Structure 1
Amino acid sequence: MEIGEYRIYSEPNWEYELIESILEKDGKREEDTLKTRKFVMSEKEIEEFLFNIKEFKQKVLAQVLPLLDEYQDIKPYFSKSLAEEDNRARHILSSLASRKVLAIEHTTEEIDKIVLDVLENWAKSINESEQNDKHFEGLQDIISFLKNVEEEDSVKFRLIMFFTERYTIFPRLQEFVIKGIQILQEHFHIIQEDFEKAVITLQDKRNMEDYFDRLEVIKLGAVNGIAVQPCIIAYNQLSIDWVLEESRDIIADTGIYMLLPDALESDYFRNDAELTGALKALGDATRIKIVHMLSGKKMYIQEMAEILELTPATVSHHMNVLLQERLVSITVDSTNAKKVFYEINTSRTKALGDAVKLLGATDTLD
């Protein structure tokens, strides 16, 4: 991957950290880390690895959650939809926080543009097809789109209310976010050293280019400009947002532990967790069909859904399972950054096949 203009933020995006701390209050990310690292690290090493993150998060949530209880009118907007739970779409508040628009005042015209844009991007995320051209101009467009979306009625109602009550919601969000940021800054010293180490590593553009190449699951092609924001709460996650689609400029919210030497290491031969996870991902008839369909070609979600006679949402769920194990890759369209298609990650599938063959061998690795 080639990156043109490169910029890194040396301070946390406090808005984003606040929103993510609430959205991830259940500790699932840390639990998943324990599961994936238990075969390569001792229990003590894992605890040491997560200690600063867990302490920072615990201290923050002890104050932030009671604060949120004082804002019952905006609290429902911190719930997750099905699309957000299975990572088909980024949470709306996360998207807004990534753009750093929650802690500042806006005119009504600015609020209109911000809300329509974030809802439009959310819609495009879950409408993965060749004709991904959703454009919202007002409430009727939003309602028309939601009619055909597989989501609970409560989620649809919440999204509609987010638009209709936007002039009330935004000032309340601003008030809450400003207070919440102060809490995060108060406890930043707990994780500050880890954050600053990540900034130093990310300052070298070559490290980021190498990371994308090794990641294998997302292929962006040439990127004109990238702004990298190191992230604390989402410490092992990469989120890409296109700022200017036409000029191929992106914001990359990058977890502070993403570029650690062992972050991308995976060895089916020596790591039973890696091997088991990959085999489980393939232990489903639909996912096996998808792998066969993608053999030797690239496809859009909508194409696969039509062939399999499933909804795009169901296919997206299966694709996310395969993506988690890096068995498939996402390729961003060279002319339209909002369009993505999928293909087999041949290096991973070959490595998996070799590991399975080895299971029946008489000579095994030490």
Structure 2
Amino acid sequence: MNIQFLTRICPEAECIFLLERRFRPGMDAQNNIGQVRHYLSDKYDIPPFELEPLLQPLAEVENYVNSNLSVSEERLRFFFTTRGNAPNSLAWSLYNAIKQDSQYGSLSGSQKLRTVNQTLQHFLDVPENALDHVTCINDLVQFLMKNGCTEDVKWVCTALYYSMDEYLEELDVILRKATGLFLEHLPDVTDLCRQTAAYAKEQIGDDPSRVFHNLNVATQPSAVTVYPCLMGFHGLSWDFADSRIYFGVYYEALTNLIQKYSDQSASLVSRLKSIGDKSRLEILRSLKAGECNGQDISEKLGLAPATISHHMNLLTNEGFVTTTKRGTSTYYTLNPPTLRRFLQELDHCLL
């Protein structure tokens, strides 16, 4: 299989992820990034201070698009709501059709029928070639009835069958508006996308099933393109109809946070021990005034150089102190961000 790992996002796909979340049905659904953040924090006991720096910039982009997109709620809901047991909204199926046949109106009758059937097949999430026998509206209605589709799904499918070109054009306009707003407010994510592509390549290698453990793929595609995904930042998604994988930009970071807070006791105890000594606490206090070398600290606290070296090894291993080598002397500096983070984690654990 030929797998290409891109270092850029797909803006149209990002907007579909964004708008699908907004219209996700269900009482327990998370309809914006803020709600996803609360869900992750509650489910995995991850403190908000860990998640906010990652997700706040994405939440601002999401809010900007949702607040400024000049399309009626009714039309957005039509395209971006998932229906019945379908895994995706209608937007994905139509978006793939737009990419494959940008000039739908110029296609021949048989080509249009093939495009409609492929779009419906993707929307209904039925096996490949399941609609090959459908050549008229009666064939389609019989298929929908036999497969137990809801009335809403039946209506959407018949509407597409009659007016595919109109829906393609309408979605194209919506996505153009949405992507314009999205790109207008998007911060620089170049480094983040590169890191995601590198991590995705490391995890996937030459076989996507390495990360899609519970997915039974009957026929492997010959080629797959992997995109970094901002709006689907916390997961992985494989669009079989288009041979694309969307790899969440914070999939690795969130996996690490979940592991970190699943049992944080050992880490906290280790760091508490490193400062739970009068001499080490005095060393930290002496560094509060600024950088010092070992000899200065030894004279200031009346401790032997070997003792200072022992204490410093413990403090630097926990990240509370950083070291700089100048000639034959080692200089030590307090690391306030690490200390603050430790106190935040302790606060989250105990209070």
Instruction: Indicate whether the TM-score tops 0.5.
Output: yes
2:94, 2:168 within 8 Å by CA — same for their partners in 1? Answer: no
Query: Residue 211 of structure 1: CA displacement?
Result: 7.5
Alpha-carbon RMSD across the aligned residues, in angstroms, is 3.7
Show the counterpart of 1:68.
71
Picking from 224, 227, 246, the partner of 1:226 is 224
In the superposition, relative to structure 1, how do residues 9 and 154 fare at CA in structure 2: closer, same or farther (>3 Å)? same
Q: Which amino acid aligns with 1:199?
A: A
Query: Residue 157 of structure 1: CA displacement?
Result: 0.9
1:23, 1:78 within 8 Å by CA — same for their partners in 2? Answer: yes
Which protein has the bigger helix share?
2
1:241, 1:251 within 8 Å by CA — same for their partners in 2? Answer: yes
Show the counterpart of 2:80.
78
Picking from 249, 252, 264, the partner of 2:245 is 252
Q: Which amino acid aligns with 1:145?
A: F
1:201, 1:207 within 8 Å by CA — same for their partners in 2? Answer: yes
Show the counterpart of 2:183.
185
Show the counterpart of 2:40.
36
In the superposition, relative to structure 1, how do residues 140 and 191 fare at CA in structure 2: closer, same or farther (>3 Å)? farther
Show the counterpart of 1:301.
none
Task: Say whether residues 1:101 and 2:103 are aligned partners.
Answer: no
Q: Which amino acid aligns with 2:22?
A: K
Query: Residue 76 of structure 1: CA displacement?
Result: 2.5
CA distance in 1, matches of 2:158, 2:241: 25
CA distance in 1, matches of 2:15, 2:101: 11
Show the counterpart of 1:166.
164
In the superposition, relative to structure 1, how do residues 264 and 104 fare at CA in structure 2: closer, same or farther (>3 Å)? farther
Query: Residue 252 of structure 1: CA displacement?
Result: 1.4
CA distance in 1, matches of 2:168, 2:190: 30
Structure 2 residues without counterparts, runs of 5 or longer = 24-29, 265-351
Q: In the TM superposition, what whole-angstrom CA distance separates every residue of 1:13-72 from its partner, at most 9, and x where no partner exists? A: 2222222222212543643453334444212212223212211111111112xx212x96
2:40, 2:46 within 8 Å by CA — same for their partners in 1? Answer: no
2:204, 2:211 within 8 Å by CA — same for their partners in 1? Answer: no
CA distance in 2, matches of 1:189, 1:60: 14
Query: Residue 118 of structure 1: CA displacement?
Result: 1.7
Show the counterpart of 1:121.
122
- The 5-angstrom pairing of residues 1-366 of structure 1 reads 4-25=1-22, 27-28=30-31, 30=33, 31-38=35-42, 39-64=44-69, 67-69=70-72, 76-84=78-86, 87=87, 90-97=88-95, 101=99, 104-109=102-107, 111-123=112-124, 125=125, 133-135=130-132, 136-189=134-187, 191=189, 193-202=191-200, 204=201, 206-209=202-205, 212-213=209-210, 216-220=213-217, 224-242=222-240, 250-260=243-253, 262=255, 270=263
Q: In the TM superposition, what whole-angstrom CA distance separates every residue of 1:211-254 from its partner, at most 9, and x where no partner exists? A: 7435532254866432112222122232223359xxxxx32122
Q: In the TM superposition, what whole-angstrom CA distance separates every residue of 1:309-352 from its partner, at most 9, and x where no partner exists? A: xxxxxxxxxxxxxxxxxxxxxxxxxxxxxxxxxxxxxxxxxxxx
Instruction: Give percent identity, aligned residues only.
Output: 14
Secondary structure, in 3 states, of the residue corresponding to 1:235?
coil
CA distance in 1, matches of 2:65, 2:96: 19
CA distance in 2, matches of 1:72, 1:96: 17
Q: Which amino acid aligns with 1:156?
A: K
Q: Which amino acid aligns with 2:120?
A: L
Secondary structure, in 3 states, of the residue corresponding to 1:53?
helix
> TM (normalized to structure 2)?
0.59
Show the counterpart of 1:321.
none
In the superposition, relative to structure 1, how do residues 19 and 115 fare at CA in structure 2: closer, same or farther (>3 Å)? farther
Secondary structure, in 3 states, of the residue corresponding to 1:76?
helix
Secondary structure, in 3 states, of the residue corresponding to 1:228?
strand
CA distance in 1, matches of 2:191, 2:97: 25
> TM (normalized to structure 1)?
0.57
2:3, 2:223 within 8 Å by CA — same for their partners in 1? Answer: yes
CA distance in 1, matches of 2:138, 2:209: 39
1:83, 1:126 within 8 Å by CA — same for their partners in 2? Answer: no
CA distance in 2, matches of 1:19, 1:103: 19
Secondary structure, in 3 states, of the residue corresponding to 1:240?
strand
Aligned residues: 250
Whose radius of gyration is greater, 1 or 2? 2
